[in-house]
Structure 1
């Protein structure tokens, strides 16, 4: 089971991001339920022989009793399985919170859970990593629950006007960066280098600018990684309702003309392809890269599927009525020539292709 990973909380916000990150390295993820559906024998079997066990499951909303007791219970259940595993995990990673040191009820519960897991790891000789995570943000977070970034992004995408109730400085970390820390792709000691400090009002101002620019079909300034991650987060709330981007085609006796993209900052790369009838290109996803498809001539179907779901979104596009379709991060996508003629397609990405870090992960749209 080389590079085999087991994790709890696989179906939550951070769990989805961790599973997406694991896809890039081709690692299999076994999921371990905790709580009322926990089975110690099944959990011990699932984690036995794994190189990494990641504990994500927790309760951060609910009554004081639920928050205090459930976080401890989940850790205790997992600890039981750890000591029963035939071959204990090499590394046990706990997705803890930076609030674990602030003395709050939630912080104390998270700290207690860390102590429980640390003791189990020491008993079986596993390496224990206690990763303190700040405020997380990222694609498909739950509005009014996961983080203020999700709430602001959702409201702006719906044409609403968010307000700041209490302005304070936030320490923010993109969920894909958190996933890299938890999966070992990035050394846990580098977490501070990935964090960004911003006030709640400053965060809202950034998102308002992103919203205003993208509503015109243009790409905002994504030169800074934080702004790129905020844009990817925001646009996850606009898809598919606000897609595709409508382009204006100008035609006269000389031929036709239309603009493909306006980018407000950062580097980029444009490319062009021809595709024979019946042939597809793509069947991959990106974790951070922004990509735009525009058919110049011919007819095609652009199909997309959010990772770990069954729902496929399709757009029928033609060069005679040009539109741009932006590929959401962590959605597998492809374009298929559905016409009788050669398909001409323009592709734009916000970064120059790097063969050492392509951020292009194979994943079929249709299973």
Structure 2
């Protein structure tokens, strides 16, 4: 996949989709819509692109704004799509299970899809209508994107979220949605959706919060639990990136418990690094990973994908702290001392060279 035009690239699902596209080595053009739409910029991005992915939409505003915004964004992309010499052969629309349910948002999503479908068919492009359920994932916006984000935010803040209306949810992790949108998974029927009630979701997240606050890792053998845990960690990392560890010492030396894990296929590793050398420079889409410097001094650096801010943590084996690497944050570790650096790593999976989930990206 060489080039993709993407709307809504700065939103929650857009961020996840861009991380997935980067693994494929795609050249992604993020197109603004609405008042910042530039038809010439859109035409340049669409001309010769392999895929247009239309994510941009309005779901939280007045009824008039919801309807007008969704239709405007679709019409803007339709205008650009139908006026380029070489339009993309595939046009993907991020639709919603609410489409056609009689609500203003559902009607607007359905009508916007019709607009984009007509434009795609007029240029001979395949129109892929991806109907998405309730999405959850890392860095969702609390009180906006989904109830999962709100629950995680409140739990991390030490508050006690409650369930106002308990109902059945169909949940899909944003990275699985991204795979659908970029075409690495064929149909929504094969995507790993999860059925859960609102109260059941909250109970799962409370268990994760309780176990993680105790310095332990929950059982991650179930994919849904792993995805919920990564979602929860994205909030906890921002609130508490460093986790002090209890160190027991006597004349023989010292003992520090790194981590306890309940089930799963976790893997512990360690590395030695000579002074001045930097390791890493990559991110993961799904892997859970923890760093712990056992001996020497190091600087651990992390950058959230598609942002410029780099977070640095200067750590030492004299005062061990564990730092988790959030998914979709590129990271590295540099030996800043004069001696060999000894670092312990833990991941939730066994390394698979055919599917390493390690995407090169400089911090």
Q: What TM-score does the superposition give when structure 1 sets the normalisation length?
A: 0.97
Tell me whether 1:284 sits opposite 2:282 in the alignment. Answer: yes
2:215 matched residue in structure 1 = 217
SS in 2 for 1:240: helix
SS in 2 for 1:284: strand
1:153 matched residue in structure 2 = 152
- 8 Å contact 1:217–1:246 — kept in the other structure? no
For residues 39 and 343 of structure 1, the distance between their equivalents in structure 2, rounded to whole angstroms, comes to 51
The superposition leaves residues 225-261 of structure 1 with CA deviations (integer Å, 9 ceiling, x where unpaired) of 1100100001111123312121111111111111111
SS in 1 for 2:330: strand
- 8 Å contact 2:156–2:239 — kept in the other structure? no
The superposition leaves residues 60-84 of structure 1 with CA deviations (integer Å, 9 ceiling, x where unpaired) of 0111111112111110111010100
- 8 Å contact 1:67–1:109 — kept in the other structure? yes
Unaligned runs of 5+ residues in structure 2 are none
For residues 175 and 129 of structure 1, the distance between their equivalents in structure 2, rounded to whole angstroms, comes to 18
For residues 15 and 60 of structure 1, the distance between their equivalents in structure 2, rounded to whole angstroms, comes to 15
- 8 Å contact 1:240–1:313 — kept in the other structure? no
Moved more, 268-277 or 239-248: 239-248
For residues 325 and 350 of structure 1, the distance between their equivalents in structure 2, rounded to whole angstroms, comes to 15
The superposition leaves residues 37-96 of structure 1 with CA deviations (integer Å, 9 ceiling, x where unpaired) of 112222112111111000000000111111112111110111010100110111000000
The superposition leaves residues 291-344 of structure 1 with CA deviations (integer Å, 9 ceiling, x where unpaired) of 011111111111111111111111111111111111001101111111111001
Tell me whether 1:107 sits opposite 2:101 in the alignment. Answer: no
For residues 73 and 337 of structure 1, the distance between their equivalents in structure 2, rounded to whole angstroms, comes to 52
Moved more, 308-317 or 159-168: 308-317
2:311 matched residue in structure 1 = 313
1:269 matched residue in structure 2 = 267
Distance 1:304 1:133, change over 3 A: same
Q: What TM-score does the superposition give when structure 2 sets the normalisation length?
A: 0.98
For residues 166 and 280 of structure 1, the distance between their equivalents in structure 2, rounded to whole angstroms, comes to 50
Residue of 236, 241, 250 corresponding to 1:243: 241
For residues 357 and 153 of structure 1, the distance between their equivalents in structure 2, rounded to whole angstroms, comes to 29
Residue of 345, 355, 358 corresponding to 2:356: 358
Tell me whether 1:197 sits opposite 2:177 in the alignment. Answer: no
Tell me whether 1:27 sits opposite 2:20 in the alignment. Answer: no
Tell me whether 1:233 sits opposite 2:240 in the alignment. Answer: no
2:132 matched residue in structure 1 = 133
Structure 1 residue 101 displacement after superposition: 3.2
1:185 matched residue in structure 2 = 184
For residues 357 and 189 of structure 2, the distance between their equivalents in structure 1, rounded to whole angstroms, comes to 20
SS in 1 for 2:129: strand
> Where does structure 1 differ by over 4 angstroms across 4 or more consecutive aligned residues?
none
For residues 149 and 271 of structure 1, the distance between their equivalents in structure 2, rounded to whole angstroms, comes to 32
The superposition leaves residues 137-171 of structure 1 with CA deviations (integer Å, 9 ceiling, x where unpaired) of 01001000000000000010010110100000000
Query: How many aligned residue pairs are there?
Result: 363
- 8 Å contact 2:205–2:228 — kept in the other structure? yes
For residues 53 and 241 of structure 2, the distance between their equivalents in structure 1, rounded to whole angstroms, comes to 36
Structure 1 residue 189 displacement after superposition: 4.2
For residues 188 and 235 of structure 2, the distance between their equivalents in structure 1, rounded to whole angstroms, comes to 32
SS in 2 for 1:161: coil
Q: Pairwise mapping of residues 27-106 of structure 1 onto structure 2 (< 5 A)?
A: 27-106=26-105
- 8 Å contact 2:293–2:344 — kept in the other structure? yes
The superposition leaves residues 12-36 of structure 1 with CA deviations (integer Å, 9 ceiling, x where unpaired) of 1111000011111111101111111
For residues 101 and 112 of structure 1, the distance between their equivalents in structure 2, rounded to whole angstroms, comes to 9
Unaligned runs of 5+ residues in structure 1 are none
Moved more, 83-92 or 238-247: 238-247
For residues 70 and 160 of structure 1, the distance between their equivalents in structure 2, rounded to whole angstroms, comes to 35
Tell me whether 1:335 sits opposite 2:333 in the alignment. Answer: yes
